[in-house]
């Protein structure tokens, strides 16, 4: 483990459940980020939550005392836009199940958001974590999906972590509803565990997979992406996953820790060769 930790040059951090929960920053997060700076380890923020634009995430982090740049944040809206550009270059009109913030990012990338109307035919449908979802728009999405148009999902998450007394139904659960209504799964589901976000970091920063630590609170997204990308997977128990669920997982992460606080301590010891 010591030799593996010595190789780490970049830490890719999941956000909700890893560095904060809902709107509450964990008390150890800022110290952890300062520790990475002192060790010369760079970091970025990855999230499967497309409900906020990159600008909104930057503002949220700023309010929490974290100064980040646009290049340091990767969310599934960006991943979906990149996928559309690469695989559907002629698609411009989208029926979007998403928040206004997410829709604004698609529009800024040159896409047109179509209306909830049978006369406003889209080129493709994108389903996302939509906290503004209405029954009418859900039905309209099901209709277009049933017509055989390209159908993409931004992320597979069943629920979004929260410290409130509720369950936040996420994109994966919305897509299950649409599948039950139409008999059709998304053609592609972006976001974690798809490895593209980590591969992008690797290429941009000229790193080897084993030099990246993927840190997150979910086995089926964060740790599965780390495994698929060949990165070092660190599961933290500060969000969704319990130790019982972690131990029962078919693929074990490289490391299981209570939080990023303990990861900072281990990285510091490994980097200084004191383990």
In this structure, what CATH number is given to the domain that contains residue 118? 3.40.50.1000
Distance CA 49, CA 27 (A): 22
Domain count, the chain: 2
Is residue 274 scored above 70 in pLDDT?
no
Q: So what's the pLDDT on residue 99? A: 96
Q: So what's the pLDDT on residue 88? A: 97
Confidence of residue 21 (pLDDT cuts 50, 70, 90): very high
Q: Are residues 183 and 200 in the same domain?
A: no
Rounded mean pLDDT, 77-103: 94
Confidence of residue 78 (pLDDT cuts 50, 70, 90): confident
Q: Which has the closest alpha carbon to 175: 161, 189, 191, 193? A: 189
> Percentage of the chain with pLDDT > 90?
80
Determine the straight-line distance between the first and last CA of the chain, rounded to whole angstroms. 9
- Asked if the structure places residue 57 within a domain, the reply is no
Q: How is the beta sheet containing 188-189 ordered, strand by strand? A: 112-113, 93-97, 124-127, 151-153, 188-189
- Asked if the structure places residue 63 within a domain, the reply is no
Distance CA 112, CA 92 (A): 6
- Asked if the structure places residue 56 within a domain, the reply is no
**Contact (CB, 8 A) for 166 and 141:** no
State whether the Cα torsion 269-257-12-22 is positive or negative.
Answer: negative
Rounded mean pLDDT, 245-273: 93
Rounded mean pLDDT, 4-14: 96
Rounded mean pLDDT, 154-170: 90
Q: Which of residues 189, 217, 234 is at a domain's end? A: 189
- Asked if the structure places residue 37 within a domain, the reply is yes
- For helices 29-39 and 260-271, angle between their N-to-C axes, nearest 10 degrees: 20
Q: Are residues 125 and 148 in the same domain?
A: yes
**Contact (CB, 8 A) for 259 and 26:** yes
DSSP state of 75: E
Taking only the tens place, the pLDDT of each residue in 201-227 is 888 899 999 999 999 999 988 999 999
Least confident of 174-183, 190-199, 222-231: 190-199
**Contact (CB, 8 A) for 79 and 191:** yes
Q: Which domain holds residue 111?
A: 77-189
* Token pair for 135: 């029954």
Q: Are residues 180 and 117 in the same domain?
A: yes
**Contact (CB, 8 A) for 171 and 129:** yes
Distance CA 12, CA 93 (A): 32
- Asked if the structure places residue 70 within a domain, the reply is no
Q: Are residues 169 and 252 in the same domain?
A: no
Q: Are residues 164 and 210 in the same domain?
A: no
Distance CA 54, CA 202 (A): 20
Q: Are residues 169 and 261 in the same domain?
A: no
Q: Which of residues 134, 160, 189 is at a domain's end? A: 189
Is residue 37 scored above 90 in pLDDT?
yes
Is residue 273 scored above 70 in pLDDT?
no
Distance CA 94, CA 151 (A): 10
| Residue 73, number of CB atoms within 10 A of its CB | 20
Strand ranges for 110-175 from DSSP E: 112-113, 124-127, 151-153, 159-160, 168-169
Q: So what's the pLDDT on residue 82? A: 86
**Contact (CB, 8 A) for 186 and 175:** yes
DSSP state of 134: -
Rounded mean pLDDT, 45-59: 90
**Contact (CB, 8 A) for 49 and 81:** no
Is residue 5 scored above 60 in pLDDT?
yes
Q: Which of residues 139, 154, 189 is at a domain's end? A: 189
Confidence of residue 143 (pLDDT cuts 50, 70, 90): very high
Q: So what's the pLDDT on residue 162? A: 81
| Residue 169, number of CB atoms within 10 A of its CB | 18
Q: Are residues 174 and 101 in the same domain?
A: yes
Q: Are residues 126 and 148 in the same domain?
A: yes
Is residue 125 scored above 90 in pLDDT?
yes
- Asked if the structure places residue 160 within a domain, the reply is yes
Q: Are residues 86 and 181 in the same domain?
A: yes
Rounded mean pLDDT, 252-260: 97
- Asked if the structure places residue 179 within a domain, the reply is yes
Q: Are residues 245 and 227 in the same domain?
A: yes
Q: Are residues 201 and 253 in the same domain?
A: yes
**Of 11 and 198, more confident:** 11
Q: Are residues 173 and 226 in the same domain?
A: no
Rounded mean pLDDT, 111-127: 98
């Amino acid at each position: 483990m010591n030799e593996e930790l010595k190789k780490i040059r970049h830490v890719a951090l999941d956000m909700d459940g890893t560095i904060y929960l809902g709107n509450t920053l964990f008390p150890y997060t800022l110290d952890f980020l300062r520790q990475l700076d002192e060790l010369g380890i760079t970091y970025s923020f990855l999230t499967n939550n497309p409900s906020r634009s990159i600008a909104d995430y930057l503002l949220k982090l700023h309010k929490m005392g974290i100064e980040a740049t646009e290049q340091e944040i990767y969310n599934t809206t960006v991943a979906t836009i990149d996928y559309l550009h690469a695989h559907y270059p002629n698609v411009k009109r989208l029926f979007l199940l998403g928040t206004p913030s997410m829709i604004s990012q698609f529009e800024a990338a040159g896409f047109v958001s179509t209306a909830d109307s049978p006369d406003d035919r889209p080129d493709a449908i994108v389903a996302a974590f939509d906290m503004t979802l209405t029954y009418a728009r859900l039905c309209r999405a099901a209709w277009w999906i049933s017509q055989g148009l390209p159908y993409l999902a931004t992320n597979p998450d069943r629920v979004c972590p929260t410290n409130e007394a509720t369950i936040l139904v996420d994109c994966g659960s919305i897509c299950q509803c649409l599948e039950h209504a139409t008999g059709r799964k998304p053609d592609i589901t972006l976001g974690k565990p798809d490895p593209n976000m980590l591969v992008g970091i690797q290429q941009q920063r000229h790193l080897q997979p084993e030099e990246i630590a993927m840190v997150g609170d979910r086995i089926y997204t964060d740790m599965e992406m780390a495994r698929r990308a060949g990165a070092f997977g660190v599961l933290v128990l500060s969000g969704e996953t319990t130790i019982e669920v972690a131990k029962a997982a078919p693929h074990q992460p490289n490391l299981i820790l209570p939080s990023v606080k303990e990861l900072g301590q281990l990285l510091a010891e490994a980097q200084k060769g004191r383990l």
